Amino acid sequence: AQSVTQPDIHITVSEGASLELRCNYSYGATPYLFWYVQSPGQGLQLLLKYFSGDTLVQGIKGFEAEFKRSQSSFNLRKPSVHWSDAAEYFCAVGASSGNTGKLIFGQGTTLQVKP
Amino acid sequence: DAGVIQSPRHEVTEMGQEVTLRCKPISGHNSLFWYRQTMMRGLELLIYFNNNVPIDDSGMPEDRFSAKMPNASFSTLKIQPSEPRDSAVYFCASNRDRVYEQYFGPGTRLTVT
């Protein structure tokens, strides 16, 4: 069965510092992978997605993620964090369930940004 | 595009009362998902529909919960009777077949006292 693990429940970084949020997945075939962001009191917003091709994908708000098949990982990165990036981040994998688009979400990582 | 619309945004009710949450998916999307988010359990998929048909309701916590999708532009999630442990944020999301990216609504914050 597909699963997603985000090992870090909570991360604190200083504003301007680089960021990497970890995501590991379990999936038999080539996965469809996603990162979503949830700001306080808001719904989830898609940051970026990987379906195939270039393993380094660019998203909105200056985020990028790299798909590494050998490590079953899809880590999210940002070179310089802004205070507005404080939010909860979810990694997700597309489940093979008849193409209805079901996603399996990780437990989320809460990012705190220090001034 | 209006995005996924959920109503109400906030609901406060007393234990034992019936609660109905509503969702309008993005036009043209034919899959709809209901999630529940709590601090303790995180984001849980309750049920999802494809072409108005429930495909997987294994996440529905118990018989007090029911969901319907009478047409392509409307879905409801009903809790009867409600209990304090049902307090959570309920999200609705939609997408198209073979397009896994889901678009989320703003959520309904439910408080059961």
Through-space distance between the first and last CA atoms of chain B, rounded to whole angstroms: 36
List CB contacts (< 8 A) between B55 and chain A. Answer: 97-98, 100
Inform me whether the pLDDT recorded for B9 exceeds 80. Answer: yes
What value does the mean pLDDT take over residues A20-45? Answer: 91
pLDDT in tens, A90-110: 999 987 655 567 888 999 999
Are A99 and B98 an interchain contact pair (Cβ–Cβ within 8 Å)? yes
Q: When comparing pLDDT for A36 and A3, which is higher?
A: A36
pLDDT in tens, B72-100: 999 999 999 999 999 999 999 999 877 77
- Reported as type and span, the H/E element at residue B13 is strand B10-13
Query: Which residue from A32, A42, A107 is facing B106, i.e. has the nearest CB?
Result: A42
Measured in whole angstroms, the distance separating CA B106 from the mean position of its chain's CA atoms is: 11
Interface of A with B in 47-66 (CB under 8 A): 49
Tell me which residue of B101, B76, B80 sits closest to B6, measured CA to CA: B76
Are A102 and B98 an interchain contact pair (Cβ–Cβ within 8 Å)? no
Q: What is the DSSP letter of B62?
A: S
C-alpha distance from B96 to closest chain A C-alpha (Å): 7
Are B55 and A100 an interchain contact pair (Cβ–Cβ within 8 Å)? yes
What value does the mean pLDDT take over residues B38-55? Answer: 92
Give the per-residue pLDDT at A98.
Answer: 56
Give the per-residue pLDDT at A100.
Answer: 63
What value does the mean pLDDT take over residues A25-29? Answer: 82
Query: Which residue from A45, A101, A105 is facing B100, i.e. has the nearest CB?
Result: A101
C-alpha distance from A16 to closest chain B C-alpha (Å): 29
Are A101 and B97 an interchain contact pair (Cβ–Cβ within 8 Å)? yes
8 Å CB contact between B72 and B100: no
Bridge-based pairing of strands A24-26 and A3-5 is antiparallel
